[in-house]
């Protein structure tokens, strides 16, 4: 058994132990499902009375009491009727038993100690394999039965579990840092965005500072795209249902699309969840020749997806967002060069933001062909093609079976942040199927009609989601070029306000963003506020500083104040901005 499967078995075994402890403390509780997850395990229960976070210690103590009395897990095969009789008062288990029987699978129960649970297996050989201090209960959460908000809300108890105590301790330290860097907390602290119940959940509102960062991110991507021959287009926020029916999005994503009905024609329309179907229509708007290709359409228009309320989380999962989206229409012999250019552009962007990364080769799941459009032979061709491109570019990658888009395989960039977490950012996809569905053509050198290849590409992905990742990656300390306020000017007293205002005007003329803090507070308080705002540079101005003719500058992360000539300071900052350091 490899390390991963061994750890999964430990986590699975601990979920059984959790259910056993809960039933000893609350005999009328109804256990439902308890799988292992990436950092541990959980179990969902229906309680007749609510439990609180304070009960976790009691449950963990009970688990520790039971654990020495458990040795191994023994499996028993039962008929569906026998299994239902064993779990006679648990309608959740009955539903699971019916599902197992309908699938033609065996119904099995596993026992350790006195506890028996409906289970397919996958446990440790002996409970003593589990290091006692390598796990702990973590938190409570609400969870709908089977993840469906139409079902009853259950209580989910989460536990953490790792191979060793050291790994658990390291994870807890990392989680404390994650909490400190939470983009929702820092977003409020830095005044970047807000949410309003009147506007609606999952619909972020960006302040001037947040909107500036968002625009600067888009401008950076657009600068790179323009150099590479991309042209920006703009498409409507909605489209007829027919467009999405032809593309296949209607069948695949109907439940997560916002439906709009015209008051006059009663025509069914949708707020667009992605740009690609509309981009096909820009291509189709003119007759195309092989000489016209490649065509590279970039688009920063807003997109909308009706995410489930329970899945919304700050900027990580929203209902309104944009993408630094691009669709390249090209000949088949141009695909390699176009993708090489995309990969090089992405490499430059990742270097700018300091992310290490690898790629996931996201392929289709042949066991579920209903999830995809197109024929198996073309899928095989595209997946082998994508793999050759990755290998030719000497890119570190891993396989992601089942992670493909419904219309083609993906090369997904997985960036690692300062906390060691992986995030999907850039994506590149080779698509033969949408051009076929929309009957897109170009005239080749012989005068024959041919289908173009469509390459889907994003670099940052969603700037909104990227802002979230960046906030947590940098702990809110944006590089100078992205900082909404680059210099905070702090007058010691009211007599120094005029000098500071004139200095701010000079900075603005030079192209620097600055603010003057004229609050009636001590200079110590002003400095503490500026530090909390994570401003890159602070300038203190009092009688002594003004008389010196030099700027008293404190750089972010440093306590020492340095005396710098005014023009030298401006020149240094402009260089730092230009180089995006």
Same domain, 450 and 560: no
Mark whether 420 and 527 lie in a shared domain.
no
Write the CATH number for 565.
3.40.50.800
Mean pLDDT of 34-59: 95
Q: Of 143, 158, 178, which residue constitutes the final position of a domain? A: 178
Confidence of residue 4 (pLDDT cuts 50, 70, 90): very low
Any idea which residue has 């007749």 for tokens?
48
Position 266 in a domain: no
**Could you confirm whether 500 is annotated as catalytic?**
no
Total of domains in the chain: 3
Average pLDDT over residues 451-475: 94
Q: Are 335 and 430 in contact (CB under 8 A)?
A: yes
Asked if omega into 294 is within 30° of 0 (cis), the reply is yes
Dihedral (Cα; 237, 242, 245, 249), 10-degree rounding: 0
Is residue 325 a contact partner of residue 235, using CB atoms and an 8 Å limit? no
The torsion defined by the Cα of 122, 73, 130 and 1, in degrees rounded to 10, comes to -40
Residue 265, in any domain of the structure: no
Q: Average pLDDT of 283-295?
A: 97
396 is catalytic: no
Residue 99 resides in a domain = yes
- 410 is a catalytic site residue: yes
456 and 485 both lie in a single domain: no
165 is an active site residue: no
Catalytic one of 299, 325, 412, 431 = 325
Per residue in 131-157, pLDDT (tens digit) is: 989 999 999 999 999 988 889 999 999
Same structural domain, 148 and 220: no
Question: Which residue out of 93, 123, 209, 305 is catalytically annotated?
Answer: 305
Give the Cα-Cα-Cα angle 286, 386, 378 (nearest 5 degrees): 65
Over residues 474-484, the pLDDT tens digits come to 999 999 999 99
pLDDT band at 5 (very low <50, low <70, confident <90, very high): low
Specify whether 101 is located in the same domain as 199: no
Query: Pick the catalytic residue: 93, 123, 327, 534?
Result: 327
- Pair 112, 221 in one domain: no
Q: Are residues 449 and 486 in the same domain?
A: no
Residue 488's alpha-carbon distances to 361, 509, 540, 567, in angstroms, are 45, 16, 9, 17
**Proportion of the chain above pLDDT 90, given as a percent:** 90
Average pLDDT of span 115-131: 92
- Residue 303 placed within a domain: yes
Boundary residue ending a domain (448, 474, 500): 474
Domain identity same for 330 and 352? yes
Lowest mean pLDDT among 360-374, 444-458, 518-532: 360-374
The confidence score (pLDDT) of residue 448 equals 96
- Domain of 198, in residue numbers: 189-235+273-474
> 165-182, pLDDT tens digit by residue?
999 999 999 999 999 999
Q: How much of the chain, in percent, has pLDDT values that exceed 70?
A: 99
How many residues can be counted in the chain? 581
State residue 367's pLDDT score.
87
**Residue 70 domain flag:** yes
Chain-wide mean pLDDT for the chain? 94
pTM: 0.84
- Determine, yes or no, domain membership for 248: no
- The residue annotated as part of the active site, out of 30, 296, 319, 456, is 456
- Say which of 410, 457, 488, 496 is annotated catalytic: 410
- 160 and 304 part of one domain: no
User: Do 562 and 444 share a structural domain?
Assistant: no
Q: Average of pLDDT values for 412-420?
A: 93
208-to-175, 211, 538 alpha-carbon distances in Å = 31, 5, 21
pLDDT at 81 over 70: yes
What CA–CA distances, in Å, run from 305 to 147, 210, 259? 18, 22, 10
CATH code of 286's domain: 3.30.930.10
- Whether residue 261 is contained in a domain is answered as no
Quickly state the pLDDT bin for 488 (edges 50, 70, 90).
Answer: very high
For the cut 50, the answer to whether the pLDDT of residue 444 exceeds it is yes
Q: What is the pLDDT of residues 543-565, one digit of tens each?
A: 999 999 999 999 999 989 999 99
Q: Is 325 a catalytic residue?
A: yes
Question: Catalytic site residue 456?
Answer: yes
Q: How confident is the model at residue 223 (pLDDT cuts 50, 70, 90)?
A: very high
Same domain, 28 and 137: yes
- The β-bridge partners of 554 are 538
Same domain for 416 and 534, yes or no, is: no
Q: Which of 209, 276, 431, 465 is catalytic?
A: 276
Specify the pLDDT at position 306. Answer: 94
Residue 240 lies in a domain: no
Q: Using the predicted structure, report yes or no on whether residue 525 has a pLDDT greater than 90.
A: yes
Active-site residue, 276 included = yes
């Amino acid at each position: 058994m490899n390390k991963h499967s061994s750890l999964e078995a430990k986590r699975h075994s601990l979920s059984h132990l959790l259910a056993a402890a809960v039933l000893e403390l609350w005999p009328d509780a109804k256990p439902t499902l308890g799988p292992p997850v990436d950092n541990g395990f959980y179990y969902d229960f229906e309680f007749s009375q609510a439990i609180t976070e304070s009960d976790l210690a009691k449950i963990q103590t009970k688990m520790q009491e039971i654990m020495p009395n458990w040795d191994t897990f023994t499996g028993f095969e039962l008929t569906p009727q026998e299994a239902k009789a064993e779990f006679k008062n648990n309608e959740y288990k009955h539903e699971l038993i019916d599902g197992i029987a309908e699938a033609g699978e065996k119904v099995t129960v596993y026992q350790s100690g006195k506890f028996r649970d409906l289970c397919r297996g996958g446990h440790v050989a002996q409970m003593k394999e589990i290091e006692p201090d390598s796990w702990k209960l973590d938190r409570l959460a609400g969870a709908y039965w089977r993840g469906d908000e139409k079902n009853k809300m259950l209580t989910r108890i989460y536990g953490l579990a790792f191979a060793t105590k050291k790994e658990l301790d390291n994870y807890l330290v990392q989680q404390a840092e994650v909490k400190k860097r939470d983009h929702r907390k820092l977003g409020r602290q830095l005044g970047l965005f807000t949410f309003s119940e009147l506007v609606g959940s999952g619909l972020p509102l960006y302040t001037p500072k947040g909107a500036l960062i968002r625009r600067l991110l888009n401008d950076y991507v657009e600068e790179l795209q323009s150099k590479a021959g991309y042209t920006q287009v703009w498409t409507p926020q909605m489209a007829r249902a027919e467009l999405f029916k032809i593309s296949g999005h209607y069948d695949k994503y109907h439940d997560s699309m916002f439906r709009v009905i015209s008051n006059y024609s009663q025509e069914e329309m949708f707020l667009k969840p992605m740009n690609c179907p509309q981009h096909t229509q820009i291509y189709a708007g003119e007759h195309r020749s092989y000489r016209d290709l490649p065509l590279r359409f970039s688009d920063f228009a807003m997109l909308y997806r009706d995410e489930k309320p329970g899945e919304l989380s700050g900027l990580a999962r929203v209902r309104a967002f944009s993408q630094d989206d691009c669709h390249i229409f090209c000949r088949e012999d141009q695909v390699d060069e176009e993708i090489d250019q995309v990969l090089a552009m992405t490499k430059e962007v990742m270097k700018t933001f300091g992310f290490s990364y690898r790629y996931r080769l996201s392929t289709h799941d042949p066991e579920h062909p209903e999830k995809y459009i197109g024929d198996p032979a073309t899928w095989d061709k595209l997946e082998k093609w994508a793999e050759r491109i990755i290998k030719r570019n000497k890119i570190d990658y891993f396989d992601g079976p089942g992670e493909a888009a419904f219309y083609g395989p993906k090369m997904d960039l997985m960036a690692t942040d300062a906390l060691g977490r992986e995030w999907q950012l850039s994506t590149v996809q080779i698509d033969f199927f949408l051009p076929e569905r929309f009957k897109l053509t170009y005239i080749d050198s012989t005068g024959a009609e041919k289908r173009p290849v469509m390459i889907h590409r994003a670099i940052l992905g969603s700037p909104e989601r990227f802002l979230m990742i960046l906030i947590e990656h940098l702990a809110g300390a944006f590089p100078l070029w992205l900082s909404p306020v680059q210099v905070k000017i702090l007058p010691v007293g009211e007599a120094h306000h005029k000098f500071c205002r004139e200095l701010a005007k000079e900075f603005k003329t030079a192209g620097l963003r600055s603010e003057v803090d004229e609050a009636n507070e001590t200079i110590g308080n002003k400095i503490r506020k500026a530090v909390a705002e994570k401003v890159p540079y602070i300038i203190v101005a009092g009688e002594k500083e003004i008389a010196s003719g030099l700027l008293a500058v404190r750089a972010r992360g440093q306590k020492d104040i340095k005396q710098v000539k005014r023009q030298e300071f401006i020149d240094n900052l402009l260089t730092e901005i230009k180089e995006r350091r």
